[in-house]
Amino acid sequence: MNRLFGKLGFIHRRLWRDDGLYRAALLLGPAALLGCMLALGAWKSSLAVQAWTYRPPAWAAVQRSTWNTDSDQPQMVQPDRLLPPAGPDGGLTGYEIGSRITVNPIEMNSQMEVDVKPTATSAFYLDGPTFDMKQIIGQGPQSALYAALGSSFLSIRTAGVYALSAKFERPAGSSADCLIRLGFGPRRIISNLEVGVVGDISKTFDAARFDLQPGLYRVGWAFSCWSGHELVDTGRMTLMVAHPGEPGLAPARADDIVRPERIQR
């Protein structure tokens, strides 16, 4: 047995010294590839755990500071995360398009202030920049009012001045109250309660302007429409973005809003 190991050692040393292809094959062989695959899997799993454990900011806090939407000067914000490299399909490595949504109970007091509870009862995912009550209703408990709270990242690939806002739409119908909130980084852009909406409405709120560098910026929103003690299935909220050089706001592009990849089960 010792003679066999000795011969194998001699062959290995000779090939390692004289054969570059052998060295490359050994370094990039199954063991190295397995290590890379394990490291990649661990990294993706950590991103997915962050997606499930991240809790959106408590938009219920009435005293929360708000971005100035009247300023002509764009406001500076630092990215929450570095911009990941692009994958083979052009998307960001470790991320996918869309938002993670949690269902959080709400209460409205006599001062018409909506308290969004911090504890979520369920979670789901939505793609695209528009969040419709038809997608939200039925995701939470039947016996309580709740709002959908979205968490995602605004993907900035080109430095420049961006504007962010939200659009609220509801067709004419029975009276309803609707909550619309939008946060960017540590502050709100919009905090609005539409009370007794009956007629057809389409409203785009004042935008806040930001001077942004490439990176991922945290975005959070809350949305719900209800009548009395029941949610209604009409009403929608759309995230609006103006990119550098664009004349005005438009619905966010498909790849503007991203979330960490989910664990594939």
- 23 and 66 in a single domain? The answer is no
Beta strands in 171-214 (DSSP E): 176-184, 187-197, 201-204, 208-212
Average pLDDT score over residue span 95-117: 90
265 in any annotated domain:
no
Angle at 71 between CA 163 and CA 165, to 5 degrees: 30
- The runs of H, that is alpha helices, within 159-219 are none
Residues 20-62 pLDDT 10s: 665 656 555 555 555 545 555 554 555 444 444 445 454 434 4
Burial class (CB in 10 A: 0-12, 13-18, 19+), 166: buried
Highest mean pLDDT among 18-27, 38-47, 101-110, 162-171: 162-171
- 36 and 96 in a single domain? The answer is no
Structure confidence at residue 50 (pLDDT) = 47
- 73 and 204 in a single domain? The answer is yes
Structure confidence at residue 111 (pLDDT) = 79
- 158 and 248 in a single domain? The answer is yes
- CA–CA separation, 81 and 214 (whole Å): 10
Identify the band that residue 89 occupies on the pLDDT scale cut at 50, 70 and 90. Answer: confident
Q: Is 40 helix (H, G, I), strand (E, B) or coil?
A: helix
246 in any annotated domain:
yes
- 128 and 229 in a single domain? The answer is yes
**Residue 220 maps to which CATH number?**
2.60.120
Residues 193-217 pLDDT 10s: 999 999 999 999 999 999 999 999 9
- 209 and 131 in a single domain? The answer is yes
- CA–CA separation, 210 and 264 (whole Å): 35
In the chain, the number of structural domains is 2
Structure confidence at residue 44 (pLDDT) = 52
- 45 and 66 in a single domain? The answer is no
Average pLDDT score over residue span 133-158: 93
- 99 and 138 in a single domain? The answer is yes
Burial class (CB in 10 A: 0-12, 13-18, 19+), 223: buried
- 36 and 90 in a single domain? The answer is no
Residue 225 in this model has a pLDDT that exceeds 80: yes
- 83 and 41 in a single domain? The answer is no
Question: What is residue 146's DSSP assignment?
Answer: E
- 30 and 132 in a single domain? The answer is no
Average pLDDT score over residue span 225-240: 95
Range of the domain at 136: 58-260
- 26 and 94 in a single domain? The answer is no
Cβ atoms of residues 114 and 106 within 8 Å = yes
Structure confidence at residue 250 (pLDDT) = 97
Lowest mean pLDDT segment, chosen from 82-91, 114-123, 256-265: 256-265
